[in-house]
Amino acid sequence: MKKILRKFLPKKLFVIYRFIKKQLRNIPDSEQVYFDANSVYEGHFNVTYRGVRALKCPFDYVMYQMLVLKMKPDLIVEIGADYGGGALYLADLLDLVGKGEVHTIDVEDKVGDLVKSHPRIKLFLNGWQKYELPKNFKNVLIIDDGSHLYEEVLGALKKFSPNASYYIVEDGIVDELGKFKNQSPIKAINEFLSGNSGWEIDREYCDMFGKNATFNVNGYLKKTK
Ligand SMILES: C[S@@+](CC[C@H](N)C(=O)[O-])C[C@H]1O[C@@H](n2cnc3c(N)ncnc32)[C@H](O)[C@@H]1O
């Protein structure tokens, strides 16, 4: 019954239906469970990894470790280092794999010594526009967690996808939540895929915990050729 209602009721009506059902069950306020994309988004600003701010959705941490351990990349390029918590997490995963480097890119240096001293991490501070992919890495994972501006996301996709093995465009959730007017990773993904890109959305990851239960809405991209 719930599945049918979820499928056919508009999202807002389904939320109201769930609310009324809970009220009827008389669950005390303190025992209510309620979270949604908005609350997870607000919470993710508090996440640290080994004490370093690491701005990712909790679901995506789980999927990243699955993907990295499966893919065993030689190189992970992260656009957008911020404090470096994400890069540190990825580098520690590569330690488990036993090989690989993380190139993390930003336009300003907020990264502390713990991250900088990790033997697998190299920091580049001139933005993705001035970073060139080295040719000696075969299996390359690109993660775009930079400005999220439509033009930049599309520009990076066009620049790096020809030499990437897998590509993650982060934070399409900002489109869904209407957070920042000029940011639109989803528009960039749609435009990129509408051409003959040779890439498609990897629904296995996007939908693992529910339809696009990720901050990277339609942002896990795999090669089709
Ligand atoms: C959302 S934060 C990155 C969070 C980080 N990946 C993590 O997991 O904690 C976005 C970062 O992108 C950086 N950024 C903005 N424009 C950029 C560009 N052109 N190239 C690389 N990084 C950029 C910002 O300075 C900011 O630190």
Span 50-78, pLDDT tens digits: 999 999 999 999 999 999 999 999 999 99
pLDDT of residue 176: 85
pLDDT of residue 67: 98
For residues 145 and 157, is the Cβ–Cβ distance under 8 A? Answer: no
Distance (angstroms) between ligand 1 centre and the Cα of 81 equals 5
pLDDT band at residue 2, thresholds of 50, 70 and 90? low
Choose between 22 and 127: higher pLDDT: 127
Distance (angstroms) between ligand 1 centre and the Cα of 20 equals 41
Span 180-192, pLDDT tens digits: 877 899 999 999 9
Distance (angstroms) between ligand 1 centre and the Cα of 107 equals 8
Among 98, 74, 78, 97, CA closest to 88 = 78
DSSP track, the chain: -HHHHHHHS-HHHHHHHHHHHHHHHT--GGG-----HHHHHHHGGG-EETTEE----HHHHHHHHHHHHHH--SEEEEE--TTSHHHHHHHHHHHHHT--EEEEE-SS----HHHHT-TTEEEE-S-GGG----TT-SSEEEEE-S--BHHHHHHHHHHHGGG-SEEEE--THHHHHT--TTB-HHHHHHHHHHSS-SEEE-HHHHTBTBTT-SSSTT-EEEE--
Q: Which percentage of the chain shows pLDDT scores above 90?
A: 78
* Identity of residue 143: I
Q: Which residues pair with 199 in a beta bridge?
A: 223
Choose between 142 and 31: higher pLDDT: 142
Half-sphere exposure of 187 (CA within 13 A, CB side): 13
Among 74, 79, 48, 71, CA closest to 61 = 48
By DSSP bridging, strand 48-49 and strand 101-105 are unpaired
Residue list, ligand 1 pocket, CB within 6 Å? 53-56, 78-80, 82, 85-86, 105-108, 127-129, 145-147
Span 140-167, pLDDT tens digits: 999 999 999 999 999 999 999 999 999 9
In the chain the domains, ranked by start, together with CATH numbers, are: 2-34 (no CATH), 46-223 (3.40.50.150)
pLDDT of residue 111: 98
Probe ligand 1: pick from 49, 82, 179, max atoms within 8 Å of CB? 82
Q: What is the pTM of this model?
A: 0.91
